[in-house]
Homo-oligomer: A and B are copies of this chain.
């Protein structure tokens, strides 16, 4: 891909969004923001995410410094996740996005229906 872009920030925004901008990351952040600390299987049940994707996404979030992982070597083992300060700072923009999403879901649905009817038949 060429690099003759007039929007120099786009590449960088793109970079960050491809890291923390995917669906599961956002939902995990929202959950942790809401409940504070959650265990692996609590997140799993909460989000309806597969074990594999949860594991992968949590590892990424930990790597990016957004989520903290605490391992308790008890039997049975217990692992807790919560937001780091960086993760907390991500709450604001994410919350704004989530709120907008909820508030405009029906509007978008209506727009879709209109568009489909005007285009489709």
Contacts and interface: CB of A to CB of B under 8 A. Distances in A.
Q: Please tell me how many copies of the chain the complex holds.
A: 2
Interface residues of A, number: 59
Nearest to A98: B13
A70 interface: no
A54 to B, nearest CB: 12
Q: Which of A13, A21, A34 has the most CB of B within 10 A?
A: A13
A2 interface: yes
Contact of A86 (B31, B99, B104): B104
Contacts of A96: 92-93, 96-97
Across the A-B interface, the 3 shortest Cβ-Cβ residue pairs: A65-B111, A16-B101, A93-B96
